[in-house]
Structure 1
Amino acid sequence: MRLDKYLCNATELTRSLAKKMLHRGEVTCDGEVVKDSGFKVKPEHTICINGEPTEVRGQRYLMLHKPVDTVCSSVDDGYASVLTLLDLPKREQLKIVGRLDADTTGLLLLTSDGQWSHRITSPNARCGKRYRVILEAAISDEALTQLGDGVLLHGEDSPVRGQVERIDERQIWLTIEEGKYHQVKRMCAAVGNKVVGLHRQQIGALELDAGLAPGQWRPLTEEEIALF
């Protein structure tokens, strides 16, 4: 890895600030001053800034309990980005794994590992997402059967289906494997109902930590990372 890139990954420095620091002779490799931004850093090298050792961060994997009125984007869309909830350096480099609407709460994953993210979001992965759905009106047994057997969404050529479990007359658990735009809301609309509350509880075998309040987050454990 180039030395200037290494410094950016290991610190809060921008590429231009890293080059200025190199020019001032503030960076050493194994005790020797290095001013060449293109210097190749090897795993066995010890890079110091003003005598303090540095280390490139490893991959990051986070679980966030997304609150309402936040967006899964770094762009201001009328609501705060979920990234603003993270008290982390270089949080803007994290990839949001899948999306939740501004009015949807629940389990959200973030990572710096693009391959890991792809294993979750790829259509070929068939990774189930489980939602608690609150409906405007009581849902009939017939509508539950329709959701399980498959419904045709407006503008789609083939039906989509989910695993359905009744919680009470106006709440259901719905697990889907596809990730079509507003899929849960459109599925419920297709059986004549309206979603008034939506919460994602689970992705694959990973459930939202019950100890996380809305807006709180924590790193994933090694065992949780290995689920995908």
Structure 2
Amino acid sequence: MYKVRLDKYLTEMGLGSRSEVKQGIRKGFVRVNGETVVRPEHKVSVKDKVFWKGTSVDFVEYEYIMLNKPAGVISATEDSREKTVVDLIPDSRRKDLFPVGRLDRDTEGLLLLTNDGKLAHRLLSPRHHVAKVYYAVVSGVMTEADIRSFAEGLYVDEELTALPAELDILSVHPAAGKSEAEGSGNPEGTSEIRLKIYEGKFHQVKRMVHAVGKEVIYLKRLSMGSLRLDEALRPGEYRRLSTSELEELYAE
């Protein structure tokens, strides 16, 4: 049975920094299998019964959390000035969570947070072409010509020719008449679209829409592979993945 140092075990379970945990161990805060342990280097395994200040500490190797990312939060693990997606998970058991891929600061929707590097690589690797579906509101009227351009593989700029993508135009709201449009700030109208892409380049959805002469004004990710955003989650809310959701992701 694989064993780790007691201070490492407790630190990974979020009981404090390594130095704080060591200090607590030496003060007698920890009992292992009914006995007080004061040596940080004491080795434990997942089968040992570990208590910190009388509270059981069960080892969790991996966490998988679905977050409905709100706008205004950055997809990072830490930042000295801005709130990060990790800051939104106060009860995480692991302190090494990271977002799988990133959503722009102003983009909402599905974001997976985990400490499972193997799964993250599987979902992000260009070789696997894991589908990502977005809902967007676009300034401008999307057309059948845009659908064909996206399906053929769109030349975006000198850095990106996007893989073929599936564009669905959900609705189009043409510009209102002159009297109604005064002060609207949107003389070209708007469109609502759903877009499925198979890669994850920097600002890809916004760049693709810009390449056909429109601009994204609202963007939300709905799914990533088999994982779909739980509609019960409001922006900023999260939950842990179910066993079936995790199995489906690993089958991608």
TM-score, with normalisation over the residues of structure 2? 0.82
Runs of 4+ in structure 1 deviating by more than 6 angstroms, as ranges, are none
Pair 141,78 (structure 1): closer, same or farther in 2 beyond 3 Å = farther
Equivalence for 1:145: 148
Deviates more, 1:205-214 or 1:40-49: 40-49
Alignment of 1:21 with 2:24, yes or no, is yes
Q: Residue 184 of structure 1 aligns with which residue?
A: 205
The answer to which of 52-61 and 97-106 deviates more is 52-61
Shift of residue 92, structure 1, vs aligned partner: 4.9
Q: Which residue of 2 aligns with 1:193?
A: 214
Question: Quick check: 1:42 aligned with 2:45?
Answer: yes
Deviation digits for residues 106-145 of structure 1 (CA, Å, limit 9, x no counterpart): 1111112221222211112211000112111101211211
Match of 1:227 in 2: 248
Equivalent in the alignment of 2:178: none
Q: Which residue of 2 aligns with 1:9?
A: 12
1:74 partner amino acid: T
Alignment partners' CA distance in 1, 2:58 and 2:36: 17
Please tell me the residue identity of whatever aligns with 1:198.
L
Specify the code of the residue in structure 1 equivalent to 2:201. Answer: K
C-alpha RMSD of matched pairs (Å): 2.1
SS of residue matched to 1:117: helix
Equivalent position of 2:227 in the other structure: 206
Instruction: Note if 1:94 corresponds to 2:97.
Output: yes
Contact (CA 8 Å) 2:109, 2:222: kept in 1 or not?
A: yes
Structure 1 contact 133–199 (Cα < 8 Å) conserved: yes
Query: Unpaired runs of 5+ in structure 1?
Result: none
Identify the residue that residue 108 of structure 1 maps to in structure 2: 111
Deviation at 1:51?
A: 5.1
Q: Cα gap change, 1:222/1:141 in structure 2, threshold over 3 Å: closer, same or farther? A: same
Which residue matches 1:164? 167
Separation in 2, partners of 1:20, 1:78: 30
Secondary structure of the 1:123 match is coil
Q: Is the 8 A contact 1:3 1:38 kept in 2?
A: yes
Distance 1:140 1:45, change over 3 A: closer
- What is the letter of the counterpart of residue 112 of structure 1? N
Which letter maps to 1:201? L
Q: Shift in Å at residue 190 of structure 1? A: 1.4
What TM-score do you get using the length of structure 1 for normalisation?
Answer: 0.90
Which segment drifts farther, 3-12 or 151-160?
A: 151-160
Shift of the 91–51 alpha-carbon distance from structure 1 to 2, 3 Å rule, reads: closer
Provide the C-alpha distance between the structure 1 equivalents of 2:54 and 2:171, rounded to a whole number of angstroms. Answer: 63
Identity of aligned residues (%): 34
Moved more, 22-31 or 105-114: 22-31
Partner of 2:188: none
Question: Could you say which residue in structure 2 is the equivalent of 1:175?
Answer: 196
For the 8 Å contact 1:107–1:200, the answer to whether it is kept is: yes
Q: Distance in 2 between matches of 1:157 and 1:136?
A: 22
How many pairs align? Answer: 228
Q: In the aligned structure 1, how far is the partner of 2:33 from the partner of 2:116?
A: 29
Q: Is the 8 A contact 1:162 1:177 kept in 2?
A: yes
Comparing 9-18 and 180-189, the one that deviates more = 9-18
Counterpart-to-counterpart distance in 1, 2:108 and 2:154: 24
Query: How far off its partner does 1:43 sit?
Result: 3.5
